[in-house]
Every structure is written in structure tokens, then in C-alpha cells.
Amino acid sequence: MEQSLTSSPIRVLIAKLGLDGHDRGAMVVARALRDAGMEVIYTGLRQTPEMVAEAALQEDVDVVGLSILSGAHMVLVPRTVDLLHARGLDDVLVIVGGIIPDEDVPALQAHGVHAVFGPGSSTQEIVHFIRAHVRK
């Protein structure tokens, strides 16, 4: 694993948005980002958009990673992005993982999602994307 013993690590919020109870993917990503030298705040299951946006604000994260497999992403993800903007968190990188049909990706991106990582994405891909696009 690449190491980055920097004095200002990238902070990432990983949240399970909505009602599905499958968090293996979110945990694997959280672990990979930890090993890449990031500080990962893991919120656990069944988070509402309000909970995610408020946690992102209080934790002052650079990245919000949303994991969703329930099919409700077209409602919950845009709502989360809106709530982040409402709190003035305009420069936070928003990435989504889980089961997102290809045809939904452009709409999510148009609504402020920076990247979608579906099944088969490597954790290194996610690490590289974050390092390349995060503010600072």
C-alpha cells in the first residue's frame, strides 16, 4: 500500500445511505482508504441524507462516499448533495458506490456527483481518484 504520512490527511466520510443492510462494500472501501493514509469516518447503516450532510459538516471532510444498493439512489443521492450545498459544503468531493445502473450515472453526475464506482471497481482506482480530485 502506498503511504502518505502527511500532517494533514484527507478526511473521508463513508455512509450507508438508505435502508439496505449490506455494508461489506462500504467497509472494504473504508479499510482501503485507511491503508492509503486517509482518516475515514464510518457512520454505519441506515443513514438519512440529513444525517450524512450534518456529519460531513461537523467532521469537516474532504470527501463524502455514499454506498447504496437499495435502488433509491435517484432520490437519496441528489437530496444528500443538495443538503451538503445548503450547508455551504460546495467543495466536498462526492462519490457513490453500490448498484447504480449505467443509465443513471449521467443524471447523478449532472447533480453534483463526481464519480460512481460500481461492482468490479478496484480500491486503488478509488484511492487514485480521490487523491487526484480532492481540494487542497
Using CB under 8 A, list all residues that contact another protein. Answer: 1, 3-9, 11, 30-31, 33-44, 47-48, 50-51, 54-55, 57-60, 87-89
User: Smaller CB distance to another protein: residue 3 or 103?
Assistant: 3
User: CB 89 → another protein: shortest distance, Å?
Assistant: 8
User: Smaller CB distance to another protein: residue 56 or 116?
Assistant: 56
The Cα–Cα gap between 134 and 136 comes to 7
Helices of type H across 1-136: 24-35, 49-59, 73-86, 105-110, 123-133
Cβ atoms of residues 13 and 43 within 8 Å: yes
The cell 447523478 sits on which residue? 108
User: CB 45 → another protein: shortest distance, Å?
Assistant: 8
Cβ neighbours of residue 3 under 8 Å, at least 6 residues apart? 37
User: Smaller CB distance to another protein: residue 39 or 104?
Assistant: 39
User: Smaller CB distance to another protein: residue 20 or 54?
Assistant: 54
User: CB 109 → another protein: shortest distance, Å?
Assistant: 26
User: CB 34 → another protein: shortest distance, Å?
Assistant: 4
Task: Tell me the backbone φ, ψ of residue 94, rounded to 5 degrees.
Answer: -110, 120
